[in-house]
């Protein structure tokens, strides 16, 4: 019952935000980009040491469209993990509420709750503050064999060519509270290109590569380096590599290595 109540509240929030956005001014970054449509594809390959078996594969295909002042995304994720395959469908919305406020809304479904959450949803609000600060508050919901409720908050800051962000996730589970903390730093080469360093402990529910491990992990420490580069005016390439050391429920540790490449084309 909680699952449907939570999803219904998110749906109401989406309807409210989408209605409200029509009367608001667009954010500056929407004004700068005249691209209305985009298509993208991303491939992730994950390797493990010890006895984890064959590498994991994840392919994501995405279509995006700007409708008035809202960016809408539709995505299909295909995973091959544990020598099994599954598909997940997702939809995202980024409505611009004003020059200082926008939102993130997500909903997703998969018929396989081993390789993906059977159902997922999320909502965050982002507020721009003076001195180029930005704060976020929101919630996520994942359902595997049982529901997982996650609450998130973050604070970010732009300084010259850098962007710094610290985000945290809290998930009450039984009598315990699971916590995750991430620090991100971007260096902008120009308006379109940047390199990013991520340091984190725990798992992120927004990371499709490994959020299925919410059922099995105890501790996790991660480092990731990524690059966003515009090859042409409307063609973008994404590259990333990461290392993740995880403790499992049987008190053993595994080393996880991930490499990904993605392209996005605007038109």
Residue 161: count of CB within 10 angstroms of its CB: 11
- What does the pLDDT look like over 78-129, one tens digit per residue? 999 888 999 999 999 999 999 999 999 999 999 988 899 999 999 999 999 9
Distance from C-alpha of 147 to C-alpha of 124, rounded to nearest angstrom = 19
Average pLDDT over residues 237-252: 86
pLDDT of residue 247: 80
Strands annotated E in 111-193: 119-129, 133-143, 147-159, 162-173, 176-188
- What does the pLDDT look like over 146-178, one tens digit per residue? 899 999 999 999 999 999 999 999 998 777 788
Kindly tell me if the per-residue pLDDT of 216 is higher than 80: no
173 within 8 A of 150, measured Cβ to Cβ: no
Mean pLDDT for the chain overall: 85
94 within 8 A of 67, measured Cβ to Cβ: no
pLDDT of residue 87: 97
pLDDT of residue 34: 54
Average pLDDT over residues 17-42: 55
pLDDT of residue 95: 96
If one compares 136 and 4, the residue with the highest pLDDT of the two is 136
**pTM for this structure?**
0.83
- What does the pLDDT look like over 134-143, one tens digit per residue? 999 999 999 9
């Amino acid at each position: 019952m909680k699952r449907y109540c939570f999803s219904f509240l998110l749906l109401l929030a989406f309807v409210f935000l989408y209605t409200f956005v029509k009367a608001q001014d667009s954010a500056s970054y929407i004004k700068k980009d005249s691209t209305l449509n985009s298509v993208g594809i991303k491939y992730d390959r994950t390797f493990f040491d010890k006895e984890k078996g064959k590498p994991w594969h994840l392919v994501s295909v995405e279509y995006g469209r700007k409708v008035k002042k809202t960016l809408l995304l539709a995505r299909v994720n295909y995973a091959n993990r544990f020598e099994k395959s599954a598909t997940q469908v997702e939809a995202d919305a980024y409505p611009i509420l004003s020059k200082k406020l926008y939102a993130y809304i997500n909903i997703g479904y998969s018929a396989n709750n081993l390789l993906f959450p059977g159902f997922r949803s999320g909502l965050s609000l982002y507020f721009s503050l003076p001195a180029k600060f930005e704060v976020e508050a929101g919630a996520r919901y994942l359902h595997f064999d049982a529901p997982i409720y996650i609450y998130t908050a973050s604070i970010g800051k732009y300084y010259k060519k850098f962007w710094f962000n610290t985000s945290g996730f809290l998930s009450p589970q039984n009598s315990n509270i699971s916590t995750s903390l991430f620090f991100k730093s971007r260096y902008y080469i120009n308006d379109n290109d940047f390199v990013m360093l991520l340091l984190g402990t725990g798992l992120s529910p927004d990371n499709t590569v490994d959020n299925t491990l919410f059922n099995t992990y105890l501790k996790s420490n991660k480092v990731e380096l990524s690059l966003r580069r515009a090859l042409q005016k409307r063609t973008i390439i994404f590259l990333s590599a990461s290392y993740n050391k995880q403790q499992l429920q049987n008190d053993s540790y595994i080393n996880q290595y991930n490499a990904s490449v993605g392209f996005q084309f605007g038109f």
